[in-house]
A and B are shown apart, each in its own frame.
Chain A
Amino acid sequence: MDKIKCECGHVNPEGTVLCESCGKPVAANQHIDGNDKSKLLNMRYEGSARRSQTYNRSIVDKTWNFFSSVKVGVMLIVIALIASGLGTIYPQEMYIPQEAENRDPAVFYEDWYGITGKIYYQLGFHDLYSSWWYMIVIALIGVSLVICSIDRFVPLRRALKMQKPKRHNTFLTRQRLFNETEKVSKAEKEALVAGLRKKRYKITEEDGNILAEKNRFSRWGPYVNHIGLIIILLAALLRTTPLLFLDDTVWVREGETKVIPSTEGEFYIENEKFVVEEYDFNDPEDAKFKDAIESRGTTVHKNYQTDAIIYEAKGKQVAGQEPELEEVTKGSIQMNKPLKFSGYTLYQSSYQENDFANMTFFVYKTDDEDRESLGEITIDLTDPKDEYELDNGIRLKINNYYADYELVNGEPRSVSNYPRNPAFVFNVFPPDSDESEISFVGIGKNIDATGENEYKLGIQGFNMLYASGLTVRRDYTLPFFIVGAAIFMIGVIQGMYWQHRRIWINPHNDGIILAAHTNKNWFGIKKDIEYAIKDTNIQMVIDQEELEEEKERERESKEG
């Protein structure tokens, strides 16, 4: 097929439904938009020649046509919607509750939810959103977005550029809003145009034919927002590369200085102090929450905070050698207040209180039932001394220190360097004596190897140390997401909060034909026309669709 020449002289591309210039239906193509079966013209995309509606021969055509169908797009959206819903039936892998006895997905789902849980896990729904098929659905939505947009945007833009104020009679009479007024004076016509101008319509006139148009830009809204969505999808793709997106965790105890992982040994963090605060309704500031806290029956946390110093390692790094550190920044990291430095962001994400800061021991006579203290010592567990002397002259020598005690194959071991389960082997020297007894003391353990010891040690108390869990992030993809989201919002607002309205005024004998079209909000365009014709005898347009529907209803009620 070749280009189609309309009787108005305009040459339209192959596949055109309504002449781009005058709107006259192209007889051979009326089936495309279903105009052959209805009284009113389908004005979608101005009846322009879309590739998807024109060619259907090669495999490329067929693929293109498949993805350019809005119905296919909607189907994909519905599939994504249902799939997303499936993923919320049971918690996703990463939300398996802390209190579960076994957090291994292979066990957890069957354990908690029985047979349905097992099936859920076997279908891979426990990690649904990163499953290959979910990603494919999302990717197909992306493809559909691109193809749909290109298929329509190009011809639509062309048609709207080509449109002329003079329209073919068939085009006008088959608009949803249409009416003819037999006699219209020049003054009335001018009043009508002035009224439309006041409503901010742009007027184009050609040989007495008038086109009043406003907000054409809103027609581009869908394409703009689709661009935004594509950028977001591409950003999500970029995020999978470690170059642009980095995610790590660091646990750092109070007083500890530690290299920040994933920074290639460049940055260090010192946890000066970790703070947990609770609401206290005795404090006048929090008194207003008294009722709520009391009725809840538990305390409510107010703040989690790590006071941190960030250092940068200076000079060349030598293995096994402590680097020279230079302070970069200092501040407190709280929830909702992350700390930023050199492209990295540190977030307060969790905390633990399972390390001991110090322990206080007291010594008493083995045969003393009241366990009267003969003296106390406090041991700093991060830096224990070799020997301690009590007030009454008893000396304690640390023979062995297990920070994280455990019996491994009958041998006492420390399974980590963190004081999580401290235990000591002491040499206890009575006052003025060089002969020592051996005592083994830990949490819930107090062993006298010989059974003949004169002195015993007891635990008086201890202080715990907080370890703060911080997330380390460096995310260069964020700007892409922000740009994508911003473009989407601009597009969607442009398309939804404005409507492309057009009113055609074509002379007809002594009167005029008035027809109008809008892509949405028919109520609004009718109000515009009512306003513009209010001081004239020009007939208000008739809503032909409403008329048809009313007839339909009457017919139905008569039959019924």
Chain B
Amino acid sequence: MESLTSISSTALYTAFVLYLIATGFFGATIRDKRTTDGKSGITGTIAITLTIVGFIAQLVYFITRWIAGGHAPVSNMFEFVTFLGMSLVLAFIIIYFIYRLSVLGLFALPISLLIIAYASMFPSEVSPLVPSLQSNWLFIHVITVSLSQGVLAVSFVAGLIYLIIQVNQKERTKKTTWLEFILFSLIIALGFVIVTTTFNTMDYEATFELEENGNVIEKTYHLPAIAGPKGGTLISEDRMTPLFNAPEWMQGEDAPRKFNTLVWSILSGVILYGLIRLVLRKRIGAFIQPFLKNISPNLVDEITYRAVAIGFPLFTLGGLIFAAIWAQIAWDRFWGWDPKEVWALITWFFYAAFLHLRLSRGWHGEKSAWLAVIGFAIIMFNIIVVNLVLAGLHSYA
């Protein structure tokens, strides 16, 4: 068993590195003069090959972990989010072979890398299943949902590319600001990964003592506490004292610690973004735009739509129908207005609105692209905020 688990984590690490290298090759394709209209040349072939090998490595991770744990590795935040990263890669590979657009990889792979890195911040031990999760519907439901979210994430990637190509960067407008905000959010995610990895390797720990419901309990931070727990006393030595306390209205499990992590992510994101702006001396969007000038925005728009068209039925099946069947078996009701269920419904409503708006002429192109971005934000909200902040039946992390 031990060896299987270690094979599994090595395979995941390999996949991560391969995706990273592949991103570099996808980057090279847009500078490659021989390839017009962004389609693949030799660099493109190398890039997609590396991506596929990386995907196979991640598949090895998935299968070995499944065997080692005795259940599908989609049962906690680490496993689920990792699988989401893998779904995005799979969806990208499929879309790549339909449209052969290399630039998609340049954006899809880094986002997948961020997702996998985010996953690794959660406890990664093979964990036992509580009774409610002991069902084959676990993997049927979760895998379908995740695949659909991977496909829908491709529509976000295409939408983002569309916006970078199309938003007029000559002057600062609302649009350029929002586009920068999207890119900034991705940088915050990067900041989060960098900060957490740094302090994890340092084994940083700061423990607080506080009273809760009449008991004295200890809370351990793994990042220096900028925002401490309300009413907590620092008991570790040589650790930074908090600058302020986390707001009281945050009720979720370990809310102060999570809030502190958020503060760190935003701070590091701001610094990173500031540094990038300092080096580039222009908006990031404006910097990337010229590299994408050979790409047909029409094709990118079509990929946005196609990805939603493929992802929507899959999402309905996995996120609503399979979910309902399982909920009926496990919790005796197929629908219970649990926050996770409601947000799945919201996601579904949103993409339904997207598909209906595509029928009207004015909603192609840029508007569609903005919508694809919002759709992805809703999906991310459902994975991150709903699980970590709004407690419910799905908070398994």
Tell me whether B356 and A77 are in contact (CB under 8 A). Answer: yes
Tell me whether A44 and B313 are in contact (CB under 8 A). Answer: no
Q: Known interface pairs A73-B356, A496-B312. Does A279 touch B128 (Cβ–Cβ under 8 Å)?
A: yes
Q: Determine the chain A residues whose CB is within 8 A of the CB of B349 once the complex forms.
A: 77-78, 80-81, 84
Q: Mask for A489-524, Cβ within 8 A of B = 1, else 0?
A: 100110011000000000000000000000011110
Tell me whether B125 and A295 are in contact (CB under 8 A). Answer: yes
Interface centre among A91, A288, A301, A338 (most CB of B within 10 A): A288
Q: How far is the CB of A433 from chain B (nearest CB, A)?
A: 49
Q: Mask for B287-323, Cβ within 8 A of A = 1, else 0?
A: 0000000001111001001100110110011000100
Q: Which of B125, B134, B329, B338 is the one whose CB lies under 8 Å from A291? A: B125
Q: Which of A335, A488, A546 is the one whose CB lies under 8 Å from B316? A: A488
Looking at the complex, which of B35-43, B45-53, B275-283, B339-347 is the stretch in contact with chain A? Answer: B339-347
Q: Known interface pairs A288-B68, A347-B332, A473-B332. Does A335 touch B343 (Cβ–Cβ under 8 Å)?
A: no
Interface size class of B (residues with CB under 8 A): 35 or more
The reply to whether the CB of A543 lies closer than 8 angstroms to some CB of chain B is yes
Tell me whether B313 and A489 are in contact (CB under 8 A). Answer: yes
Q: Determine the chain A residues whose CB is within 8 A of the CB of B198 once the complex forms.
A: none
Q: How far is the CA of A112 from the CA of B249 in the complex (A)?
A: 8
Q: Determine the chain B residues whose CB is within 8 A of the CB of A335 once the complex forms.
A: 131-132, 134, 330
Q: How far is the CA of A473 from the CA of B312 in the complex (A)?
A: 32
Q: Determine the chain B residues whose CB is within 8 A of the CB of A70 once the complex forms.
A: 356, 359-360
Tell me whether A95 and B392 are in contact (CB under 8 A). Answer: yes
Q: Known interface pairs A349-B332, A546-B298, A560-B168. Does A497 touch B313 (Cβ–Cβ under 8 Å)?
A: yes
Tell me whether A521 and B125 are in contact (CB under 8 A). Answer: no
The reply to whether the CB of A54 lies closer than 8 angstroms to some CB of chain B is no
The reply to whether the CB of A411 lies closer than 8 angstroms to some CB of chain B is no
Q: Mask for A78-91, Cβ within 8 A of B = 1, else 0?
A: 10110011011001
Q: Determine the chain B residues whose CB is within 8 A of the CB of A91 once the complex forms.
A: 339, 390-392
The reply to whether the CB of A257 lies closer than 8 angstroms to some CB of chain B is no
> Whose C-beta in chain A lies nearest to the C-beta of B171?
A560
Q: Determine the chain A residues whose CB is within 8 A of the CB of B346 once the complex forms.
A: 81, 84-85
> Whose C-beta in chain B lies nearest to the C-beta of A112?
B251
Q: Mask for B345-370, Cβ within 8 A of A = 1, else 0?
A: 11001101100111111000100000
Q: How many A-B residue pairs have CB under 8 A?
A: 154
The reply to whether the CB of B170 lies closer than 8 angstroms to some CB of chain A is yes
The reply to whether the CB of B177 lies closer than 8 angstroms to some CB of chain A is no
Tell me whether A287 and B1 are in contact (CB under 8 A). Answer: yes
Q: How far is the CB of B326 from chain A (nearest CB, A)?
A: 8
Q: How far is the CA of A338 from the CA of B334 in the complex (A)?
A: 14
Q: Known interface pairs A335-B132, A488-B316, A496-B313. Does A44 touch B126 (Cβ–Cβ under 8 Å)?
A: no
Q: Determine the chain B residues whose CB is within 8 A of the CB of A80 once the complex forms.
A: 349
Q: How far is the CA of A78 from the CA of B374 in the complex (A)?
A: 13
Tell me whether A288 and B306 are in contact (CB under 8 A). Answer: no
Q: How far is the CA of A34 from the CA of B345 in the complex (A)?
A: 34
Tell me whether A336 and B132 are in contact (CB under 8 A). Answer: yes
The reply to whether the CB of A378 lies closer than 8 angstroms to some CB of chain B is no
The reply to whether the CB of A92 lies closer than 8 angstroms to some CB of chain B is yes
Q: Which of A97, A286, A338, A545 is the one whose CB lies under 8 Å from B128? A: A286
Tell me whether A74 and B357 are in contact (CB under 8 A). Answer: yes
Q: Determine the chain A residues whose CB is within 8 A of the CB of B313 once the complex forms.
A: 489, 492-493, 496-497
Tell me whether B68 and A496 are in contact (CB under 8 A). Answer: no
The reply to whether the CB of A390 lies closer than 8 angstroms to some CB of chain B is no
Q: Which of B126, B328, B339, B343 is the one whose CB lies under 8 Å from A289? A: B126
Q: How far is the CB of A470 from chain B (nearest CB, A)?
A: 9
Q: How far is the CA of A140 from the CA of B76 in the complex (A)?
A: 38
Interface centre among B5, B131, B365 (most CB of A within 10 A): B131
Tell me whether B337 and A129 are in contact (CB under 8 A). Answer: yes
Q: How far is the CA of A556 from the CA of B167 in the complex (A)?
A: 12
Q: How far is the CA of A167 from the CA of B310 in the complex (A)?
A: 33
Tell me whether B332 and A88 are in contact (CB under 8 A). Answer: no
The reply to whether the CB of A57 lies closer than 8 angstroms to some CB of chain B is no
Q: Determine the chain B residues whose CB is within 8 A of the CB of A347 once the complex forms.
A: 331-332
Q: How far is the CA of A278 from the CA of B334 in the complex (A)?
A: 27
> Whose C-beta in chain B lies nearest to the C-beta of A34?
B361
5 A-B pairs in the complex with CB atoms less than 8 angstroms apart:
A85-B343, A94-B337, A293-B127, A302-B128, A560-B168
- Given A73-B356, A74-B357, A497-B310, 4 extra CB contacts under 8 A: A292-B126, A296-B123, A478-B334, A496-B309
Instruction: Point out residues on B near A: beta carbons under 8 Å.
Output: 1, 5, 68-70, 98-99, 123, 125-128, 130-132, 134-135, 137, 168, 170, 213, 249, 251, 296-299, 302, 305-306, 309-310, 312-313, 316-317, 321, 324, 328-332, 334, 336-339, 342-343, 345-346, 349-350, 352-353, 356-361, 365, 386, 390-392
